[in-house]
Amino acid sequence: MKLPSLFDLQVNGFGGIDFQTEKLSQAELGKAVVILHERYMPRIFLTLITNTIDALADQFARVEKYRAADSKIAETIVGYHLEGPFLNPTPGYCGAHPGEVMHEPNIEEFERLQRAANGNIRLITIAPEWKGSAEFIEAVTAQGVVVSLGHTCAEDADIDMAIRAGAKLCTHVGNGIPSELHRHENIMQRLLARDELIACFIPDGIHIPPYALKNYFRAKAPGKAVFTTDCMSAAGAPDGEYMLGSHKVVVGKDRVVRQPGKTTFAGSSLSLDTGVANVHHWLGISVETAWDLCSTKVADIFNIALPQIEVPANWSASFKDKP
């Protein structure tokens, strides 16, 4: 049967290929694209996480060179999600990102990155408690870039400001926060309460337990929740050792992505097709609705038209990973 393709706005790597490394080759990126298509994802935002501005500019330019040389890579990577370095460096909030290179948003730095990306940065995650965030959000929003709040401990006033300036999304709500928080006064509660913002959730059962995901999903107004994976190179690949930029990570039988000696997750190993099945089973919503929340409902935020793809009638049974 024909369905609009899935669309993942946060893909750090796939099929054993790390998109963060300066060693990324065109052949490797092409291999990842083939596997993405096999998993019903012919359209994604390639995501780069916190690094120095020089390193990010080099990586955007590298991927753009590969997009120019390969039409299948170009049609698959329809934009970029820049997740950092304008995030909160406090331990817990910075997650697996290197906090030492995080800093307040700078429009000149962003425009340098946008030039390297040939104008294809479509989404940026920032922590709005940084000085200058309102001006930055207004400036990038005026350029057609969608702003998401994440890796943040923003107070209500910061969130109010960000919304007025044009912020629309929240990145992987329930994650990028310390494991221990005040029971009421915390960033998760503040973001869930904001009907102006669309919440993005990771439905892998690891970043958010299924029962908590059900509660968070119910907390959002209709049309204000979508799903993503924040996946890294282990997605669509076996258990084992992988790299996420300069960090070695280990993925075990439980599919948790761990940095040796640390307790924070380093992305997920989830493929979005399995995420659809998880959303269907755990939230008790129809398969069709679950698919839409991982497909058109995400793409519509960015006015992206998705191709129709052929999906087996028993498509949920065909998943390589089981919920």
Q: CB–CB of 58/245 below 8 Å? A: no
pLDDT classification of 275: cutoffs 50, 70, 90: very high
Q: What is the DSSP letter of 5?
A: P
Q: How far is CA 173 from CA 4, 22, 213, in A?
A: 25, 29, 10
pLDDT tens per residue, range 46-70: 999 999 999 999 999 999 999 999 9
pLDDT of residue 208: 93
Q: Is residue 10 classed as helix, strand or coil in its secondary structure?
A: strand
* Residue 132 structure tokens: 């200058």
Residue 209 CA to residue 215 CA, distance in Å, equals: 10
> What are 14's two structure tokens?
């796939």
Side-chain-side CA neighbours of 118 within 13 Å: the count stands at 14
pLDDT of residue 253: 85
Predicted confidence at residue 317, as pLDDT, reads 62
- Residue 118, pLDDT > 60, answer yes
**3-class DSSP state of 248:** strand
What HEC string does 285-309 produce? CCHHHHHHCCCHHHHHHHCCCCCEE
How buried is 112 (Cβ within 10 angstroms: 0-12 exposed, 13-18 middle, 19+ buried)? middle
Indicate the range of 17-21, 34-38, 160-164, 249-253 predicted with least confidence: 249-253
How high is the pLDDT of residue 92? 80
Higher pLDDT, 228 or 319: 228
Least confident of 77-86, 135-144, 248-257: 248-257
pTM > 0.85: yes
Q: Mind listing the pLDDT tens digit for each residue in 158-213?
A: 999 999 999 999 999 988 887 788 889 899 999 999 999 999 999 999 899 999 99
Residue type, 304: I
The 10 Å Cβ neighbour count of residue 152 is: 28
Percentage of residues of the chain with pLDDT beyond 90:
78
CA angle 132, 138, 142 (to 5 degrees): 145
- What is the rounded average pLDDT of the residues 297-321? 83
Mean pLDDT within 120-140: 98
In terms of Cα–Cα distance, which of 31, 9, 246 is closest to 150? 9
Residue 323 pLDDT grade (very low, low, confident, very high; cuts 50, 70, 90): very low
- The pLDDT, as a whole number, for residue 322 is 44
Average pLDDT over residues 295-320: 85
Q: Is the pLDDT of residue 41 over 60?
A: yes
Residue-wise DSSP of 125-141? EE-TTSTTHHHHHHHHH
Single out the residue of 58, 76, 69, 48 nearest to residue 307, CA to CA.
Answer: 76
Asked whether the beta carbons of 37 and 26 are under 8 A apart, the reply is no
Mean pLDDT of the chain: 93
DSSP codes of every residue in 44-73:
EEEEEES--HHHHHHHHHHHHHHHHH-HHH
Residue 230 has pLDDT above 70, yes or no: yes
Largest Cα–Cα separation, the chain? 52
140 Cβ contact partners less than 8 Å away, ≥ 6 residues apart: 107, 110, 124, 147
The residues near 119 (Cβ < 8 Å, ≥ 6 apart) are none
Summarize the confidence of residues 245-253 as an average pLDDT. Answer: 81
pLDDT number for residue 313:
77
- pLDDT at position 145 is 98
User: Does 280 score more than 80 pLDDT?
Assistant: yes
